[in-house]
Amino acid sequence: MSSNRRPAATRVLLVASIAALAAACADAPKAPPQQALAPLTPTEQFHIAVTSHPDQILLAPHADGLSAAQMTALSALVDRWRDAGGGPIQIQAPSHGGGEAYRAASLVQAELVAMGVAEDRVTLTGYDAGDKAGAPIVVGFDHYQAKGPDCGRDWDGFTKTLNNGPNSNFGCAVTANVAAMVANPADLAQAQPLAPGDSQRREVVLGKYRQGQVSSTAKDDQSDAAISSVVH
């Protein structure tokens, strides 16, 4: 008789355990949803959207070098590159293009340097064009654009500020003007690398400092100015 009661008792304990587990899950506090960080200042509620798109030209490889039309297209690309801030320029040659494609890519690299592009700004890489004969050489750079916020769509009443807080559009015009006037929008996306310091100039300044001399630059006599006499 005791053996018949054991399965029933086991089922009762199992049901009770499941019920207790469900109750514990129901009573467990849920994690609060993640919220966006509030701006530190009222002006930080507006952001500048920076986007980029490739500015590229396609050049057909020629055994005798670049044609006149290709030189014109390459010169126009360099002009746009200067206006865009002078970022890296990438030359992509077809990997299976043979020696002709490699020579043409090398000529493009040399022409870019001759047009004033620094050598460290030009990179030469390959791309897989498959078995396509006469695959072009791709020359281009990333062109960045900055878009500011749209201001003036909703204005709060300037007289209804019970908490003495700023208007909802406060700082929007400044952010929009920065987006419109920035010379190189790429600076808003990532910081530009710093040029190395002048070690010789540093040694001169430190040498004067150790000797107790004035380490600042000598005054230029041309900076002296005098008020001329008034002619009546």
CATH architecture of 52-145: 2-Layer Sandwich (3.30)
* Residues pairing with 37 in the sheet: none
The counts of H helices and E strands in the chain are 6, 4
Torsions phi, psi for 158 (to 5 deg) = -70, -20
Query: Which amino acid is residue 139, in one-letter code?
Result: V
DSSP 8-state code for residue 114: H
| pLDDT given at position 186 | 85
Q: At 9, is the secondary structure helix, strand, or coil?
A: helix
| pLDDT given at position 214 | 86
| pLDDT given at position 38 | 63
| pLDDT given at position 123 | 92
Maximum separation of any 2 CA atoms in the chain, in Å: 133
Residue-range domain boundaries for the chain = 52-145, 148-189
| pLDDT given at position 170 | 82
Q: pLDDT averaged over consecutive 10-residue blocks of the chain (232 residues)?
A: 51 55 52 57 80 91 85 93 87 80 88 92 87 84 90 72 74 90 85 80 89 81 60 54
Q: What is the Cα gyration radius of the chain?
A: 34
